[in-house]
Amino acid sequence: MIEVRALTKTLGSTRVLDGISFVAPSGQITGLLGPNGAGKTTAMRVLATLLHPDDGEVRIDGVDLATEPLEARRRIGLVTEEPGLFDRLSVREQLLFVAEVHGLSRSAATERIEQLAEALRMTDLLDARAGVLSKGNRQKVSLCRALVHDPPVLLLDEPTSGLDVVAAEGLQELLESADLTAERTVLLSTHRVDEAERLCERVVGLAAGRVVVDASLAELVAADGATDFRSTFVRLLGEATLAGRVAEQ
Amino acid sequence: MTLIVATRRMFRLARLDLLDGLRSRRQLVIRALTPVGLLLVLGAVLALVGGGDERIREGDYTVAVEGDRNGAAEVLGSLERERLRFVPVDDATRAVFDGTDVGVVLPDDLDARLAQGERLEITVVENPVRRSSRAAGLLVTSAVLDLHAAEVRSVPVASGERRAEPAFTYEITTIELTFEGVSVLVAQLIPALLCLQAALLTNGAASRMAGRTQMGLVQSQLALPVRRSELAGAKATAELGVGLVVSLPVLGIVLLLSALRSLDDFTGAEMAVAALAVLVALVAMGVLAAATGVVIGLVARTHGEVSLGTGVVLVVAAVTAGLVALGPFDLPSVAAVVPVVGLVSSLRHLLDGQGSIGWVAVAIGVTLLAAFFMVRVAGRSLDAERMVTRS
């Protein structure tokens, strides 16, 4: 489970996160949605311990980020828009490295990588150099790397951004697979409503650094009285974003 | 125990960066050959700067006199009128290396043997790289020629007969062509090479670090459960590893030069100590250079800033190599407390047979301390927040 309480973060002179609070329960995918500049990536970076919060509290699987960042990192698998792979090294070498850094023995790591590669349908990629892989396959490797130590929490920061339709579809299909995500707390940051609608059971909508929506998809549509999630969400975020801009001015 | 565990973790962390660095063969070859090329360029520049003629100056020139000075009082007295100030030395070549304008090696009982009409030879020792030495050499040889001409004129010649052969001849010896000259040059070349190699290591490390940061590689590693300082240390260790591999040609040259140096007056033990000092100095400078490169690569916001940072390091290294290792700046032993510069200076003195291993050890310690400080700075530079706000 991810618990965020009154999280505030200022970058430069801009208050990017303005006291956001939400809970991402375990066993389901929670979407972190919002337009560009809403603060999604900043929130994900704070959760991944890459940024220090100015104020507020974040707990990852019960571990306080502020006091135990290393322990929190052990419980997190992170996939970002840019996979960050060494081009000249093979996929297997890079996965083994991450597994060993997380404390897996060589044999356990090898076994785990084989299992994951099969589940992610990338066994044939294991011995390829990362530099020759397509962006879609690089993102698969990134997902495999995030899962190699079997973390209870998976943070996906716009993983399909920049992918073509086929590659994005392939990745979404994998994320739907119960083998990979069912037992974990998955937080998916995206600006694509269709992706959230397909993968997430719950959404947290951000606009201008504030939480404007925090509900399951079904609850949201029912409360709004609209016919579909997309129109409800777009309307809510649009209004909130506009209100935020007006408040800034 | 904790230190051992931390070190093992750091080496494990360094493995990926090291492998990545070693698989870029083209970069390895370029980085291996560049210092040799740079040294040739630097040598050419120094020769150009030291080249050209110097006008005979107003003041005296100092002449180191080796040999029987008392037996040559008359000849030297004649030469002294030409603004030459004579200083007795045991080794004229050495004295010229140490800054005396020119050296003269006299045969025994020069005046007496000259009076008996014996054919003798005077050796003039000069350093062709220094203008003042060449000018002083010119002054000495012209004075010797005048003396020679006067001797020849003093012998009466009957009508139709040829004048007598010269009473004595002179020979100009440039110090580079002496055995000791080569030895001293080697003592200067080795620290200069190490210095340039270190600067190139900084350059390579900074470029790669900046590239990896831009590709998101560093950020993905920041999410791993390791301390920032360990990660920074690992990056520097990997760069050091790559740096040592690309240093192999330089190391080969250094060992060859060391062997050449050992043919002179070093004993086996002294040579072993000197070789060990060179190797440890290479590693110490490498650690500092790699850590500096990591800091530059992480702190710089653009490739332009990386170029600026590494350019400054290269200029500092070239100046240090040119002035302290190869050039005229003979720093005192206590300069060993200045990182890098002190190491270059003390290593030069050691290889030159005039320094002590103690000062080299001090210089290595100081340089390693500076490297440790730089790793700490690198650890702070690995702050993800800084990277994120930068991007």
Q: What is the DSSP string of A61-129?
A: TTEETTT-HHHHHHTEEEE-SS----TTSBHHHHHHHHHHHTT--HHHHHHHHHHHHHHTT-GGGTTSB
CATH code of A218's domain:
3.40.50.300
Among the candidates B147, B177, B207, a domain finishes at B177
φ, ψ of residue A226 in degrees (nearest 5): -90, 175
Predicted confidence at residue A236, as pLDDT, reads 72
CB contact under 8 A, B219 and A80: yes
**Residues within 8 A of A (CB atoms), B 136-175 only:** none
Tokens of B257: 């030069």
pLDDT tens track for B288-345: 999 899 889 888 878 888 999 999 998 998 888 888 887 766 788 888 898 888 999 8
Residue B56 lies in a domain: no
Q: For residue B60, how many other CB atoms are within 10 A of its CB?
A: 15
Residue B363 lies in a domain: yes
pLDDT of residue B250 exceeding 70, the answer is: yes
Residue pair B283/B239 in contact by the 8 Å Cβ criterion: no
B121 and B201 in a single domain? The answer is: no
pLDDT of residue B391 exceeding 70, the answer is: no
pLDDT of residue B356 exceeding 90, the answer is: no
B206 and B339 in a single domain? The answer is: yes
Name the residue of chain A whose CA is nearest to B215's CA.
A84
Q: Does B385 touch chain A (CB under 8 A)?
A: yes
Q: Which value does ipTM take for this structure?
A: 0.85
Residues of A in contact with B224 (CB under 8 A): 73, 98, 101-102
* Distance between A5 CA and the closest CA of chain B, angstroms: 21
pLDDT > 70: percent of chain A: 94
Q: Does A13 touch chain B (CB under 8 A)?
A: no
Predicted confidence at residue B54, as pLDDT, reads 56
B91 and B172 in a single domain? The answer is: yes
pLDDT tens track for B178-236: 666 666 777 788 888 888 888 888 988 898 888 888 778 888 888 888 888 888 888 88
Q: Does A162 touch chain B (CB under 8 A)?
A: no
**Residues within 8 A of B (CB atoms), A 177-236 only:** none
Residue pair B30/B41 in contact by the 8 Å Cβ criterion: no
**Full residue range of the structural domain in which residue A97 is found:** 2-248
B237 and B335 in a single domain? The answer is: yes
pLDDT of residue B237 exceeding 70, the answer is: yes
- Identify the residue among A40, A71, A89 best suited for mutation to test binding to B, counting B beta carbons within 10 A and taking the highest: A89
B210 and B77 in a single domain? The answer is: no
CB contact under 8 A, A49 and B15: no
Predicted confidence at residue B308, as pLDDT, reads 93
- Identify the residue among B24, B219, B220 best suited for mutation to test binding to A, counting A beta carbons within 10 A and taking the highest: B220
Q: How far apart are CA B101 and CA B99, in angstroms?
A: 6
Chains A and B form CB pairs within 8 A to the count of 77
DSSP notation for B116-150: TT--EEEEEEE-TTSHHHHHHHHHHHHHHHHHHHH
CB contact under 8 A, B216 and A84: yes
Residue pair A193/A217 in contact by the 8 Å Cβ criterion: no
Name the residue of chain B whose CA is nearest to A44's CA.
B223
Q: How far apart are CA B43 and CA A214, in angstroms?
A: 71
pLDDT of residue B168 exceeding 80, the answer is: no
Query: What is the tally of structural domains in chain A?
Result: 1
B266 and B298 in a single domain? The answer is: yes
B214 and B293 in a single domain? The answer is: yes
User: Highest mean pLDDT range out of A84-98, A200-214, B236-250, B255-269?
Assistant: A84-98
pLDDT of residue A47 exceeding 70, the answer is: yes
Average pLDDT over residues B113-117: 71
Of the pLDDT bands very low, low, confident and very high (cuts 50, 70, 90), residue B138 is confident
pLDDT of residue A158 exceeding 90, the answer is: no
pLDDT of residue A214 exceeding 70, the answer is: yes
Among the candidates B152, B177, B202, a domain finishes at B177
Residue B24 lies in a domain: yes
**Full residue range of the structural domain in which residue B201 is found:** 2-49+180-390
Task: Say which residue, B311 or B270, is predicted with more confidence.
Answer: B311
Predicted confidence at residue B374, as pLDDT, reads 86
B121 and B40 in a single domain? The answer is: no
Residue B377 lies in a domain: yes
* Distance between B232 CA and the closest CA of chain A, angstroms: 15
B340 and B207 in a single domain? The answer is: yes
Average pLDDT over residues B108-117: 76
